[in-house]
Chain A
Amino acid sequence: MSYFFQLVVSGIVVGSIYALSALGFVLIYKSSRVLNIAHGQIIAAGAFITYALTVWVGIPIYLSFGMSMIATFFLAMSVERIFLRRLIGEPIISVIMVTIGLMSILDGLIYLTPFGTENFSFPPYLPTTPITIGGVSISWTQLVGVIITFSMIAGFSWFFKKSTIGISMRAVSDDQMASMAIGISVPRVFGLAWAMAGLSAAAAGGIIGNITGLNFDTLHAFGIVVFPVVILGGLDSIQGAVVAGIIMGLIQQFASGYLDGNWGLNGTGEVMPYIILLIILLFKPHGLFGIHEIERV
């Protein structure tokens, strides 16, 4: 039975990190209906800034983690201001193409640094002995990752439900023209959405980097790995990202734990989330929590 619970715990850990990584997509899509293809690069940048501040500058990791979130907050805000602000009102496909270009630019910039082609790992700052209860283990890195993830998700949920700016952002997402008519600055909302996505990306990068080590390929790949989570959650729902992330994490662990190695099966942990995604989308084409918009002509 401890095997089952171990898979549950691991599934929740992985799933919550997926949710945090997916959050950046959701925040941008929620306000601007744009899918930021360069999100993986911002995740990687966040992890590298944390490392640079911790190891090269000598700032304690807890502080550098926060500072990297601030740095990516402004980095993403600048990206929006420089590259995307002038595309407001242009077809969405043009904006997505710009994010693809942005991905290449960020790739190129990161390859100019040692992080592009070298591997690093954060210095140990947490106890290395895992917490084990009833035969179920969780490492401190994973536990801290889960706590940060859920704190951030709770914070963002509160922000969108209760704060004036958050409600403005939801309004822009619903109807840009109507929002402008009531005095909401749509460009400001877009900038803020990008900035918040940058902030969540740095958090995700820091956590993933602690788990896998700092390898650019591995880190930026998470921008794509979490795509099924974003789609399953419904693209614009924070709650959806959390639920979909945990579903995906659990499916991966259970498939790997119970199917792989039996009946000649292998790699089901990679494939099963996509199969489940397809099945769910057959019945809920807008994802689990996506909004089904009905347009009256």
Chain B
Amino acid sequence: MKKNNVIKWTFLLAAIGVLTLPAQALAGEVYKLGLSLAITGPTSDAGNPYSKGVEDYFNFVNDTKMLGDDKIECTIRDDQYKNDITKRNFEDFLDQGIVFYLNYSTGSTLALKNDFEEEQIPVLPASFHAGNLVDSNYIFLPIASYSAQMIGLTEYVSKNHKGGKPKVAMFIHPSAFGRGPVEDVKKAVAAGLDVEIVEVVEHGKDLDNTAMLKRLSSKGVQYVLSHTVQSPVATMLKDASSLGLVATSFGEEGKITFLGAHYTGGNDLVALAGDSAENFYWTTSYIVTSEPGEGTDLQLALAKKYNRDEKAANSHNYANGMMVAQVATEVIRRAKSKGKEITKETLYEELLGMNGDNAFSPKTTVGDVTFSETDHAGVDTLQLYVVKNSTFMSEGSPFVPEYTDKIK
């Protein structure tokens, strides 16, 4: 009797196993990814829409079966812009078995650089700091570095300034993030870029920039290139506006033309500075929703599908998050189509092979994403925008800064 029971149970379990196997196979693979970023705390005005972009795009990938029956499971965790929490999140993600990691800040990317090397895991941060790439094999910048952006702006000033050598000042965040591009711009100037850097100003939590603006004006500074976040730029623009120092056209004599890199601009700047943001020049590799196109249509449709509000839908940081999710999905898709097992090693190989005919066009950027052994900066192309009637509008065509290569 006992023996019969054992046989019965064995057959039953075997039958269950046989029946569930195809179901498991049909369910497909689950690829685990992790994103740690500031959804609350400092810079959460950028981190919040960024996380929504990542979340929505991966949901879109799963909902539309872009990877067939396989799914992407991306765990998104708030680190409040604190490096220790980022590290803890990253270690938890590793325990979960992630194959690709999305990071956020410059500070945490630099702090975890050795961990990324040890784990040999490909990483796409939201920080475009060129220093992320020094002594690193596994970090990839989604778009042109802050250095390239600032050099690009300086080149634009040099090419479009009327009169003698243009005098510029740099207005930067007091951190590794802010200081990063300063030396590179100075190197570009030393290599022949025809501008005079009069001063590099590290801002604080200033309520009033009158002293600084008057000082710069008295030294003949006509261009202020900013590399920081929107809030201090907004305060500076408001002060410059009330002092009557803002140029109404590029390079207007006796006035100051304000320009800035990726995190200084976008709709948040207009929200903070109001009318004082008029004629602010801004560069990024992303296409903004005020310039309709295939990528922005996709961005707005995605935001609508997942019930995001207008602010998130139109944020360039939503596009930013969406784009890193696009790149991660693309390398998984490519590895899968080649019949490779999806691991951090194979995804790393696919990233390195993303160049030439295999360059990837996410449509949300002004150029293609290209990576190789020697090039870890994704989109090299930049677009200049200028605020007209509270809207960022394209100024000229997309360009690649010339001096970025000259100073290597």
Question: Which of A's residues lie within 8 Å of B, judged by CB?
Answer: 3, 6-7, 10, 13-14, 17-18, 107-108, 111, 114, 116-121, 124, 128, 130, 137-139, 141-142, 208, 211-218, 221-222, 225, 252-254, 256-257, 260-261, 266-267, 269-270
Contact = CB atoms under 8 A, between A and B. Distances in A.
Contact of B211 (A138, A211, A253): A253
Given A10-B208, A137-B244, A217 B42 contact: yes
A121 B267 CA distance: 12
Contact of A120 (B218, B241, B242, B271): B271
B235 A211 contact: yes
B205 interface: yes
Interface in B35-65: 39-45, 47-48
B44 A213 contact: no
Contact of A256 (B174, B212, B231): B212
A7 B45 contact: no
Given A257-B214, A266-B200, A211 B45 contact: no
B238 interface: yes
Contact of B208 (A13, A118, A221): A13
Interface residues of B, number: 45
Interface in B164-212: 174, 198-202, 204-208, 210-212
B230 interface: yes
Interface of B: 39-45, 47-48, 174, 198-202, 204-208, 210-212, 214-216, 218-219, 230-231, 234-235, 238-239, 241-244, 268, 271-275, 311
Contact of A119 (B208, B210, B239, B272): B272
Contact of A269 (B39, B47, B206, B214): B206
Contact of B215 (A107, A215, A257): A257
A10 B238 contact: no
A124 B274 contact: yes
Contact of A128 (B43, B200, B205, B275): B275
Given A17-B207, A137-B242, A215-B45, 13 more contacts: A7-B210, A116-B40, A118-B311, A121-B271, A137-B244, A212-B238, A212-B272, A213-B235, A213-B272, A215-B230, A261-B215, A261-B216, A266-B202
Nearest to B49: A117
B174 A267 contact: yes
Given A260-B212, A266-B202, A111 B207 contact: no
A178 to B, nearest CB: 41
A119 B271 contact: yes
A130 B242 contact: yes
Contacts, number: 141
A257 B200 contact: no
Contacts of B273: 121, 213
Q: State the 6 A-B residue pairs at the shortest beta-carbon distance, nearest first.
A: A213-B272, A139-B242, A257-B211, A270-B204, A117-B48, A256-B211
A107 to B, nearest CB: 8
A253 B213 CA distance: 11
A87 to B, nearest CB: 28
Nearest to B266: A119
Contact of A118 (B43, B199, B234, B271): B271
9 contacts: A10-B211, A17-B207, A117-B47, A119-B231, A211-B238, A213-B231, A257-B214, A267-B204, A269-B204
A270 B235 CA distance: 16
A282 B202 CA distance: 29
Contacts of A256: 211-212, 215
A253 B208 contact: yes
Contacts of B201: 260-261, 266-267
Nearest to B48: A117
A10 B210 contact: yes
Contacts of A261: 198-199, 201, 215-216, 219
A48 B128 CA distance: 32
Contacts of B40: 107-108, 111, 116-117
A137 B243 CA distance: 6
A244 to B, nearest CB: 15
Nearest to A17: B207
A212 B234 contact: yes
B272 A121 contact: yes
Nearest to B207: A14
Nearest to B276: A128
Residue among B41, B47, B199, B210 having the largest count of chain A Cβ atoms under 10 Å: B210
A276 B367 CA distance: 51
Contacts of B239: 139
A6 B205 CA distance: 20
Nearest to A214: B272
A124 B234 CA distance: 15
Nearest to A224: B205
A55 to B, nearest CB: 11
